[in-house]
Amino acid sequence: MNDQQTSNRLPLILVLVGAAILAAAGYYFFANNEPAIRGDKAIYAAQDAERAISAAGVSDKERAATEAIVRAYILENPEIITEAVEILQKREMAKRMDAAGSTVTKAFLGAVGGNPEGAITVVEFTDYNCGFCRSSVADLNRLVGSEKDVRIVYRELPILSPTSRDAARWALAAAKQGKHKAFHDAMFASGPANEQTITAAARKAGLNMDQAAKDAASQEVNAEIERNLAMMQQIGFNGTPTFIIGDQMLEGALGYDALKAAVEKARKKG
């Protein structure tokens, strides 16, 4: 192959070899930082790239020269690895969100806030022993006060302690009486979940205590909690609060401004 042919092929070679390096590096870092992704994806990515290079008839000399160019570029611009990882994370998250489907936004009867008919749904996975969840209550209340088309779906995710599950069961029992929001706010205002604070929150919310006790122990309520725990595994997060807003997954106590921005982004996408 003459120098002119090599020069004409250089862009293709750069793309193929660069893709091989970036794919392997990106999947390596992604697999080490994202438990939901199996590390063998790095191997598959590298194998796919190798097959493409072989099919293109790239010589050892061409490959060595191109790898040197790509390596030098990556070393001078290491941020492209982070950018590649971020893109991979977004793609994998989108796949998991699609797999979860409409189940995420389908509320347990009564476990809703804001505008029940709102066009924008904010899903919150919450634990009553979570301090960050507690600090988010005011932000969500402010959000539904300012954004009249927002519907809140509360998903009970008791992961911090056994008393978290007790509180979650009573929250769902409150939902069956149409008083989830009242219990939700009262529970977080009462402090960490225990028998005394749960009872106090239930009374403050005006629950029929006998009926609530029966519902809290029901298979229906326990099945909902297990469903939420399964969603956490499927989507791929492990903490509270976690918010699902449109195709966005946001973790932690975000604050009002970040929640509002996420709602606006979802609204624009329709």
User: Is residue 7's pLDDT more than 60?
Assistant: no
Cα end-to-end span (Å), the chain: 54
The pLDDT of residue 14? 54
Alpha-carbon distance 158 to 57, whole Å?
56
Residues 6+ apart with CB under 8 A from 197: 167, 187, 190, 191
The ranges assigned to domains in the chain are 3-96, 112-269
Residues 6+ apart with CB under 8 A from 233: none
DSSP sequence for 12-63: HHHHHHHHHHHHHHHHHHHHHH-TTS-THHHHHHHHHHHHHHHHTT--HHHH
User: Higher model confidence: residue 187 or residue 28?
Assistant: 187
Contact assessment for residue 244 and residue 265, using Cβ atoms and an 8 Å cutoff: no
Q: pTM score > 0.85 for this model?
A: no
Alpha-carbon distance 163 to 193, whole Å?
6
Residue range 42-100, pLDDT digits in tens: 555 556 666 766 766 667 787 787 778 778 877 888 887 778 777 776 777 777 777 67
Residue range 217-257, pLDDT digits in tens: 999 999 999 999 999 998 889 899 999 999 899 999 999 99
Strands, E assignment, the chain: 112-114, 120-126, 150-156, 242-245, 248-251
Residue range 15-33, pLDDT digits in tens: 555 555 555 555 555 455 5
Q: Which residue has the tokens 């009249």?
A: 148
Alpha-carbon distance 27 to 38, whole Å?
9
The pLDDT of residue 88? 72
Look up residue 123 and give its amino acid.
V
Please give the structure tokens belonging to residue 265.
Answer: 């982004």
Residue range 188-222, pLDDT digits in tens: 999 999 999 999 999 999 999 999 999 999 999 99
| φ/ψ (deg, to 5) at 6 | -60, -40
Task: Name the CATH topology of 112-269.
Answer: Glutaredoxin (3.40.30)
Residue range 128-156, pLDDT digits in tens: 999 999 999 999 999 999 999 999 999 99
Which residues sit opposite 244 in a β-bridge? 123, 249
